[in-house]
Amino acid sequence: MSLKTETMVLNMGPQHPSTHGVLRLELKIDGELVLDVKPHLGYLHRCFEKHAEAMQYNQVVPYTDRLDYLAAMGNNWGYALAVEKLMGIQVPERVEYIRVIVAELQRIASHQVALGSNAADIGAFTPFLYLFRDREHILSIFEDTCGARMLYNYIWVGGLSHDIHPDFVKKVKEFVSYYKATIIELDNLLSYNKIFIERTANIGVLPLDTAINFGASGPALRGSGIPFDLRRDDPYSIYDRFDFEIPVGKGLQGQVGDCWDRYYVRVREMEQSLRIIEQAIDHIPEGDVQSAIPKRIKPPKGTVYTRIENPRGELGYFIISDGNTNPFRVKVRAPSFVNLEVLGELCKGHLVADVIAILGSIDIVLGEVDR
């Protein structure tokens, strides 16, 4: 006798502990097997692009903070770069160095949350606490520098909102030496943990050509084994002066491009960020961080698309200027938005519990997906 089975539709979210915010996934399942995943977005659509059209160029900066709220520095920077390119502004050396340092610190802070929540979602709660403990160090550096813990409004068009705190260099150096030793803790706790490997290795394998065709970027793309990093491949600012490696997924615990690879790429990226900070921190030149800030931001007519490597991948800003003080149109190419698209491909044929691991390894921030 054979039992009659039926496929079932299961809703995950918008309120769900593991969807990293307000994402709704519509799973079509056959028993525990996932046949299809349909993400439904828009639960956090905050109308960024409309706001950008209604504001002056410099007023848009605080709104960019709120796109990818785990990596606000990167968002500010991408936007500032786009407007600077449109207006042909050259920013002082000191500003470039500070920008690199804060952006790399931000990358570490952002990866800490990403790794922690990825682990917590699949049951390893302890690393989450450890990572948040270390994240507080970075937040306190930022708080000294610009007065906010999360949304900084620090990188302005042509410069910075404040100069760095007198203790900045000392504190950053302390953090770098502290964290270099502590990152090993993460490896011991989580990376080579048997249970964690069982849950993530060979799960959600993303082949390279699919990744490129879907436009994936950041750790999601590098986990599939290609060393594509905009800091190296389309260099902006002063990244060409620093020596760093681009970690890629090698399939150490399973196939190339599985969840564990994407996880591991992030861990190693934090080390590389520390390396960049070390190289930059001693060479911050003297100068005025606000000297290049234009009195009135009124770019010429034209369009510009710039992209930077944010912790989650390629963050692009497309700005159309009609020669006024407000942007005519700002479109954000959000890395999470594009990376999330591939979720359906990755989840097919896995179990329901694996969807959580895969979603965590893609690492989305809903503020940026929905904008």
Residue 57 identity (one-letter amino acid): Y
DSSP H helices, 159-293, are 168-186, 194-200, 208-213, 219-222, 230-233, 259-281
Specify the stretch interacting with another protein by CB under 8 A; choose among 131-139, 172-180, 182-190, 237-245.
Answer: 131-139
Q: How far is the CB of 315 from another protein (least distance, A)?
A: 11
Number of residues in contact with ligand SF4 under rule CB under 6 A = 2
Nearest Cα to 90, choosing from 189, 238, 211, 194? 238
Report if residue 204 touches another protein, rule: CB under 8 A: no
Choosing among another protein, ligand SF4, none, which partner's interface includes residue 135 (Cβ < 5 to 8 Å by kind)?
another protein
Q: How far is the CB of 338 from another protein (least distance, A)?
A: 5
Among 12, 20, 60, 66, binds ligand SF4 (CB under 6 A): 66
- The whole-angstrom separation of Cα 281 and Cα 304 is 31
Among 26, 49, 163, 185, binds another protein (CB under 8 A): 49
User: Would you give the binding string for ligand SF4 spanning residues 11-50, x where CB under 6 A is met?
Assistant: ----------------------------------------
Q: How far is the CB of 148 from another protein (least distance, A)?
A: 9
- The whole-angstrom separation of Cα 128 and Cα 115 is 8
Among 158, 204, 247, 316, binds another protein (CB under 8 A): 316
Report if residue 294 touches another protein, rule: CB under 8 A: no
DSSP state of 300: P
Comparing CB distances to another protein, the nearer of 257 and 367 is 367
- The whole-angstrom separation of Cα 85 and Cα 236 is 11
Q: How far is the CB of 171 from ligand SF4 (least distance, A)?
A: 25
- The whole-angstrom separation of Cα 293 and Cα 84 is 10
- The whole-angstrom separation of Cα 178 and Cα 43 is 39
A 10 A CB-CB count for 107 gives: 27
Q: How far is the CB of 65 from ligand SF4 (least distance, A)?
A: 8
Specify the stretch interacting with another protein by CB under 8 A; choose among 39-47, 162-170, 256-264, 346-354.
Answer: 39-47
- The whole-angstrom separation of Cα 63 and Cα 367 is 11
* 276 in Cβ contact with 248 (< 8 Å): no
Q: Which residue is nearest to ligand SF4 (CB)?
A: 66
Question: What are residue 317's DSSP bridge partners?
Answer: 306, 332
Residues that bind ligand SF4 (CB under 6 A): 66, 151
